Chain A
Amino acid sequence: MSTAGTGRETSLKIVGGRFCNEQGIESDNVALLIRNGRIAATGLAAGQATADETFNAEGCIIAPGFIDLSCNLREPGNGQKGNIFSETRAAAHGGFTTVCASPETSPVNDSSAVTHLIMDMAALHSPIHVLPVGAITRGLEGDLLSDMAGLAAAGCVAVGNGSKCVRNARILRRCMAYARTFGLTVMFNPENQALAADGYAHDGLVASRLGLLGIPEVAETTAVMEMILLAEETGVRLHLSQLSCARSVDMLAAARERGVTVTADVAMHQLVFTDKALAGYDSRFHVRPPLRSEEDRKALIAGIRSGVIDAIVSQHQPHDSAAKQAPVAATEPGLSSVESVLSLGLELVSQAELTLGTLVRALTHGPASIIGSRASLAEGAVADLCIFDPDAHWTPGANTLVSAGRHAPVIGRELPGIVRLTLAAGKTAWQHPAN
């Protein structure tokens, strides 16, 4: 694991505020003492200890640092869209202390050399933990296996194919069988390329009306079923990234019921928006998989509530402005989303679609379990923390975003939830200027 720091020399005491655990039970914080990058003491013991600095968390929620299973840092290779310096700071602004870096870089992260490069750059430039995901096929081409064991040894937490399809089921099966040998988790975005074809919007009424080329629901569901069956046969630990369809959630639940080791995540924007967001050809909402119907959105929320879907991710995809300034078909997919995940989630909480505990679980314990990590506020744990004020508001705008990508899902609308302090291994990764 690339740790952001070796721990602070000075100690920090956090007083006030409330903890939120995954059951959503909140308890008052007396004090939390952080020393040498770890939580050194809690409760009365911490309260009586002396520390070099004190942070007053009055009115705030104290949660484990958020973990993002799908984040594009764009480095190496796409500096015009963002880099490790800018995007990890954006993530820290969003309360994340760990991001899994997508293998879709240039060059692709399909060798230990690229993995080392990413981790070295992260050690230099990132205030948070960066965990690379390796490419499961060479160049993400879907034809040849990558050196998976080498990637894992170099520090990759999982192997996957980014947003690219593995078209050939025989190769997919071999990818899984080979990854299984080393106990690696495989991450796939389920999409049948032949069915998705040239599409870029949900194949439904909105696409029909606006004349956009559709990606049918079956492009995802047939891939989900194929991947589940292959995982069941090979015994690999399968993680399905960024589901978008109600029926995928049903198939996932059924597979888990019969004991298949399969987990899944969903992007926050899939829980908030539907294909109607493309109204007026708003190319920001050209995302992949596409935003689907209200029924799909509801089913994905229900999947998070029941725990069938383990994690909420940002699927952060920063772009330069040219990539988004064109008719929808000519734009690149993806939102600059990592800074607004918490706020959009808190809106769902205020609309009673999620509870605060469920939201926090899907951003902490859920993703932690998939990458074999822990999210904890217990004594002795690594001090990865997010302290946010759920009742304070901010308005995302071109000048309030830290990311190089300005195409946030919500611009100019007041959102709840300000991250006051993000600590990664005890070090300040983000502190709100107003503190």
Chain B
Amino acid sequence: MNANDLYPNDLQLTRDGQLRHFLTLDGLGRDILTDILDTADSFIEVGERTIKNVPLLRGRTVVNLFFESSTRTRSTFELAAKRLSADVLNLDINTSATSKGETLSDTLLNLEAMASDMFVVRHSQSGAPHFIAESVTPGVAIINAGDGRHAHPTQAMLDMLTIRQHKNQFEGLRVAIVGDILHSRVARSQIRALNELGTSDIRVIAPGTLLPKDVDSLGCTVEYDMAKGMKDLDVVIMLRLQKERMEGALLPSEREFYRLYGLNREKLALAHPDCIVMHPGPINRGVEIESAVADGPQSVILNQVTNGIAIRMAVMSMAMGGQVAERQQRQSGEAGA
């Protein structure tokens, strides 16, 4: 099945193929993903200057709409928006507020009355940013900052940027994603990005209880035995394990999980000597990763955080550009008529 069958492209791209929302990597081609990486590269240089701001979003209002709590993702989005000179409003709408009876549609109507230009949305339900993009006023860009188990496209792109910085290319790489694939929106977006960018050896390493149905059809191979899966790896991506996974009988104990699927120095030694270690954070030391590995020379975990700002600047400026271009087209269309 083609990814495009499931995700009609016209929602996140303009007619000219420019980004106008950033909801998922499904349906985005290699050219646009590469464009995002290249744009982010140019913003990395901005981050190294004393004056770190560029005026691309000057006068624009960006609303960070977080229905699920987050520190890292929200603060990097905030920093990214500020470096683009936008006005930023942070709204933490925890679920207890929305469970008072206001529907997502009603919340949105209220926020639109504030004349915002962009919503950065995190929500616990898969497809929520998609729903918002469908119902929002034309001209407002929606950026997905993580929805349910579905997608976390900016995280996946900052991971791709980190990989490109260290490995220069995606063809021929051997990449493994280890841990709770089932609940992970990050893993889904990473698998999609790696496939599109040309990596053919993508492995997911997890016990059967933490794998989604038909996971191999996403474009990866399944390995239950971590020692086998680590062989000759160029990149290993560890995922965070939530403590509540023990309660649903998905795992017997943290101890057994760490023994079988935790990344320690012995297991890392099975990979290629230049193998980089990645983690979307926050890390659980001693649950999925040994401290000596997380802080070791092969770890690029802090690079990922730095790259997060650049990727988010890239995506925000590109989506706003698409919206502006579309608005101009609409206006000239109206003038012509």
Contact = CB atoms under 8 A, between A and B. Distances in A.
Contact of A322 (B103, B125, B188, B215): B103
Contacts of A276: 1, 5-6
Contacts of A211: 126-127, 147-151, 185, 188
B324 interface: no
Contacts of A206: 1, 6
Contact of B218 (A208, A213, A327, A328): A208
Nearest to B182: A208
A374 to B, nearest CB: 45
A326 interface: yes
A279 B8 CA distance: 8
B218 A209 contact: yes
Given A280-B7, A326-B103, A327-B123, 15 more contacts: A206-B1, A207-B212, A208-B212, A208-B217, A209-B26, A211-B126, A211-B151, A211-B185, A213-B149, A279-B5, A279-B6, A281-B131, A325-B103, A326-B104, A327-B125
A207 B215 CA distance: 10
A209 B125 CA distance: 14
Contact of A327 (B1, B5, B126, B217): B126
B263 to A, nearest CB: 25
14 contacts: A205-B1, A205-B213, A205-B217, A208-B188, A208-B212, A208-B213, A211-B147, A211-B150, A212-B126, A212-B149, A327-B126, A327-B128, A327-B148, A330-B104
A210 interface: yes
Given A211-B147, A328-B127, A280 B8 contact: yes
Contacts of B26: 209
A206 B26 CA distance: 12
A203 interface: yes
B131 to A, nearest CB: 5
Interface string B1-22: 1010111100100000000000
Interface in A67-119: none
Interface residues of A, number: 24
Contacts of B212: 207-208, 214
Interface in A311-330: 322, 325-330
Nearest to B3: A209
Interface string B228-239: 000000000000
B132 to A, nearest CB: 9
Interface of A: 203-214, 216, 276, 279-281, 322, 325-330
A210 B127 contact: yes
B28 to A, nearest CB: 14
B282 to A, nearest CB: 21
Contacts of B70: none
A329 B148 contact: yes
A236 B1 CA distance: 44
Given A208-B218, A329-B148, A281 B103 contact: no
B6 A327 contact: no
Among B103, B104, B126, B149, the most chain A Cβ lie within 10 Å of the Cβ of B126
A135 B128 CA distance: 36
A318 B3 CA distance: 32
Interface string B88-102: 000000000000000
A207 B212 CA distance: 9
Contacts of B8: 279-280
Given A204-B214, A281-B131, A327-B128, A210 B105 contact: no
A205 B62 CA distance: 35
B174 interface: no
A206 B215 CA distance: 10
Contacts of A329: 125-127, 148
Q: Which of A205, A213, A214 has the most CB of B within 10 A?
A: A205
Contact of A210 (B103, B104, B126): B126
Contacts of A280: 6-8, 11, 130
Contacts of B149: 211-213
A292 to B, nearest CB: 12
A269 to B, nearest CB: 19
Nearest to B106: A322
Contact of B213 (A203, A210, A325, A328): A203
A207 B123 CA distance: 17
A247 to B, nearest CB: 16
Contacts of A209: 3, 6, 26, 188, 218
A382 B300 CA distance: 79
A57 B204 CA distance: 63
A204 B217 CA distance: 10
Contacts of B135: 325
Contacts of B6: 206, 209-210, 276, 279-280
B131 A207 contact: no
A203 B213 CA distance: 6
A215 to B, nearest CB: 11
A205 B127 CA distance: 16
Nearest to A197: B248
A210 B1 CA distance: 13
A207 B214 CA distance: 10
A71 to B, nearest CB: 27
A280 B149 CA distance: 15
Nearest to B152: A211
A213 B127 CA distance: 12
In the A-B complex, the 10 residue pairs with the closest CB atoms: A211-B150, A211-B126, A211-B149, A281-B127, A208-B212, A327-B125, A327-B128, A205-B214, A279-B6, A329-B125
Contacts of A212: 126-127, 149-150
A281 B130 contact: yes
Contacts of A214: 212-213
A212 B1 CA distance: 17
Contact of A208 (B3, B11, B128, B215): B215
Nearest to B215: A208
